[in-house]
Amino acid sequence: MTKKEDLCKFKGDVIFKDKEMIREGYGNIRCQDGYSYRGYYKNGKRHGKGIYQTKEDEYKGMFKDAKRHGKGTRRLVTGETYSGQWKDDKIEGKGKSVFGKGPYKGDTYEGNHKNFVFHGKGIYRFKNGDTYEGNYKNGEYDGHGIFTFKGNKEYVGQTLEGQWKKGQAVRGTAKYATGDTYTGSYKNGKGKRNGYGVYKYANGHVFKGISKTDDRLRGTMKYKDGTVYTGSFLGKGFGTEKSPDGEVCKGPVQDGNFNGRIQCSKKNRRGKYNVSFRNGKRLK
């Protein structure tokens, strides 16, 4: 008996072994510090089905050699609950968590665990309606997964399926509520386009090139009418636009738009000529 248990009261089954009393079978112990256990013992240790309580939490389930082991449910005073598999006193294997107080209140996770953290396949449901379903590693999105946005105003209606690393999307395909799609690289966030990718607009336009934090930097835009623009899209730069009728215009751009007098040329027409633009539109 430990010093802690000197302040406890035990009622239950015991046996004597080498002149020592050992708990064996069913028993009930209550201590002054709030600790209690009622359930089965083996060789003096919690073993089998039982209920363990402290001031911080309650556990109902299976024990092995005094450790939570097998299937069990833990409830914290914060309102958080976990129900699932345990191994050597650790959350390990399949289970479901419902989070209590704090920023994660109302969120749930169901899937695999390793050493108390999400690890392997699982699905996390946010209280705002967003979900992530896929692979985890050491508590973070890692591997193949699908993020569905429902409550996030910035991305509502969007799904992102692809590869994740350390909680961040690195490459995948996004489908937007508008009907647009994007396949390519991501960085620094769940849904921020970063690096090379292909963006297909619902209206038929297609952009291939480099983006940064969702903004197009440089690349090629093929418009539905057959016009093709290649060059800079953000800030000052240079661009080339080829029209279906064979006209080619080249010159400085601001945010992907020609401004001022731009030099152009056309098949079956001698020499180069100037065309005036304002914010990408020709002036008559």
Q: Please report whether residue 135 resides in a domain.
A: yes
| CA 119/CA 92 separation, integer angstroms | 9
The CATH number of the domain holding residue 163 is 2.20.110.10
Q: Please report whether residue 122 resides in a domain.
A: yes
Q: How many CB atoms lie within 10 A of CB 207?
A: 19
pLDDT of residue 5: 54
pLDDT of residue 270: 85
147 plus 239 within the same structural domain: no
Q: Please report whether residue 69 resides in a domain.
A: no
Mean pLDDT by 10 residues, the chain (284 residues): 66 91 96 95 97 96 98 96 98 97 94 97 96 97 95 84 94 94 85 92 97 94 97 96 95 94 90 92 86
Q: Please report whether residue 238 resides in a domain.
A: yes
Q: Please report whether residue 272 resides in a domain.
A: yes
pLDDT of residue 18: 86
Cα angle for residues 10, 23, 41 (degrees, 5° grid):
100
Whether the CB-CB separation of 261 and 274 falls below 8 Å is answered with yes
252 plus 161 within the same structural domain: no
179 plus 206 within the same structural domain: yes
Q: Please report whether residue 190 resides in a domain.
A: yes
pLDDT of residue 273: 93
Closest CA relative to residue 104, chosen from 120, 128, 86, 121: 128
201 plus 245 within the same structural domain: no
pLDDT of residue 193: 92
- Could you tell me whether strands 117-125 and 20-31 are parallel, antiparallel, or unpaired per DSSP bridges? unpaired
Q: Please report whether residue 241 resides in a domain.
A: yes
End-of-domain residue from the set 198, 224, 250: 224
Number of domains in the chain: 2
Q: Could you tell me the residue range of the domain that residue 234 belongs to? A: 226-284
Q: pTM for this one?
A: 0.85
Q: Please report whether residue 88 resides in a domain.
A: no
pLDDT of residue 190: 61
